Structure 1
Amino acid sequence: MLPPSLSLPVPPAQTSPHTPHAAPGRRPPAADRVYAHVKRGVLDRSYQGGTLLTEGGLADAVGVSRTPVREALLRLEAEGLLKLYPKKGALVLPVSAQEIADVVETRLLIEEHAVRKAVPAPDALLDRLAELLAEQRRQAAAGDLAAVAATDRCFHAEIVRHAGNDILGRLYDQLRDRQLRMGVAVMHAHPDRIAKNIAEHAGILDALRGGDADAAARHVHQHVGWVRHLVRGDAI
């Protein structure tokens, strides 16, 4: 049976880093605008798991015909964010316990290795991590959970990038959307984790500053691995 739709505000259409850039002075193609609009809403939980999106509603929200809406929804279904139901709409899929487990396992494999390889950390990395940590504190104070999640992800991605393994970096980038969506969901469900996450980032940074690869890996393991307990609960 198709789950009921939720009545949520429609977020404004915006471009996305996953959407091809149009030539200067030109609007992106209609399908790209719909894709960016829906994807942003799914990642920041404006469209929560269980929400039924209709072609007509999205066409009106973005100001396009239904044809590019169908194209955009097919792309998002291929990415595992939606499930299409012919003549009914597209269901936003919730984050499952299995997805949480898979992402945590993959992150630990990549990030514990990367943080060890990042030692001794160059000044450029340490300065960038300190900048992201300060930015995350400002975003948390403002209550912008989507921004906090995005900066959280950037913090870890910087460490992976400085490990110097391009193949691992590309693999890690493939987790981007799942990390962002899970990050926002976890912060909504566990608001106490926001301050703890920031403190744990500070611990990782301190270990890197001290040149202690073992301590840095332990901090990463504790920071990323705590999410495992969510696997025993409901989907988010």
Structure 2
Amino acid sequence: MSAAVAPAKIAKPVKTTKPAKQPPAAERVYSHIKQAVLDRRYEGGTLLTEGDLAEAVGVSRTPVREALLRLEVEGLIRLYPKKGALVLAVSAQEIADVVETRLLVEQHAARKAVPAGPGLIARLEELLEEQKAQAAAGDLAALSVSDRCFHAEIVRDAGNEILSRLYDQLRDRQLRMGVAVMHSHPDRIAKNITEHTEILEALRAGDADAAAAAVHQHVSWVKHLARGDAR
């Protein structure tokens, strides 16, 4: 009697993962420059050339020109024909305008966020812990993002979509100013975390007046920077 022959196994097709499609070249250049400006790798007063940027990102000069035109419209750079692009410093007027807008939006949002739900309180606690870890690591770019997120969560929780969209338009200016302030005033890092804690405690206690007052004290400190440029 012959031995039984095991049935042949049918090989399953191997799924291949397609490589992630890269964003268009102009978008890559735009993201590279913008992030470098926001976290101060390209500081105010830096002159950027098309050739250097093309080499840094690995593209031709054409997408570099497209990206620079877009960034000029956003007010981050100024183009000079045949010379390059100058990274604009944060101006005194810009600081004053951002502070004024933030106070209008954030104090109103802090009042509306009371009584704060457990979801908002938990998220603010999480962001505070992130800020402490980032401060200890000296990661000012990440700290600026967490700082801004802390305030944005309160604005979103207030439930006014129009105000939330308005506040989102301040994002890039807030991030850039946040890093600039922490570089020039390192003592503010610990103070910011303390003041965030005060805002959180007022929200936790359900005290709308105290929450608005804590926001006012925290945001208004930047006003004195409007006396000169924050580079």
Is 1:97 aligned to 2:92, yes or no?
Answer: yes
Q: Aligned partner of 1:47: which letter?
A: Y
Gaps of 5+ in 1: 1-22
**Equivalent of residue 42 in structure 1, options 37, 50, 57:** 37
CA contact (8 A) 2:90 2:229 kept: no
Is 1:181 aligned to 2:183, yes or no?
Answer: no
Is 1:165 aligned to 2:160, yes or no?
Answer: yes
- CA deviations 1:99-155 (Å, max 9, x no partner) are 000000000000000000000001000000000000000000000001111000000
Tell which has more relative contact order, 1 or 2 (C-alpha 8 A, sep 6+). Answer: 2
Q: In 2 relative to 1, CA 61–134 (structure 1 residues): closer, same or farther, beyond 3 Å?
A: same
Which whole-Å CA distance do the structure 1 matches of 2:104 and 2:40 have between them?
Answer: 27
1:198 alignment partner in structure 2: 193
Q: In 2 relative to 1, CA 174–24 (structure 1 residues): closer, same or farther, beyond 3 Å?
A: farther
- CA deviations 1:51-100 (Å, max 9, x no partner) are 00000000000000000000000000000000000111000000000000
**Equivalent of residue 52 in structure 1, options 39, 47, 50:** 47
2:205 alignment partner in structure 1: 210
Larger-Rg structure: 2
Which whole-Å CA distance do the structure 1 matches of 2:110 and 2:68 have between them?
Answer: 37
1:235 is displaced (CA, Å) by 3.6
Q: Aligned partner of 2:84: which letter?
A: G
- Identity over the aligned pairs, expressed in percent? 78
Equivalent residues in 2 for 1:108-123 (5 A)? 108-123=103-118
TM-score w.r.t. the length of structure 1 is 0.89
CA contact (8 A) 2:76 2:87 kept: yes
1:234 is displaced (CA, Å) by 3.3
Which whole-Å CA distance do the structure 2 matches of 1:175 and 1:31 have between them?
Answer: 23
SS in 1 for 2:20: coil
2:120 alignment partner in structure 1: 125
Q: Aligned partner of 1:209: which letter?
A: R
Q: Which runs of 4+ in 1 moved over 3 A?
A: none
Is 1:76 aligned to 2:71, yes or no?
Answer: yes
SS in 1 for 2:43: coil
1:65 alignment partner in structure 2: 60
CA contact (8 A) 2:203 2:211 kept: yes
1:228 alignment partner in structure 2: 223
SS in 1 for 2:69: helix
- CA deviations 1:159-208 (Å, max 9, x no partner) are 00000000000000000000000000000000000000000000000000
CA contact (8 A) 2:38 2:176 kept: yes
1:106 alignment partner in structure 2: 101
Which whole-Å CA distance do the structure 1 matches of 2:73 and 2:63 have between them?
Answer: 16
1:232 is displaced (CA, Å) by 1.4
Q: Aligned partner of 2:197: which letter?
A: A
Which whole-Å CA distance do the structure 2 matches of 1:232 and 1:70 have between them?
Answer: 34
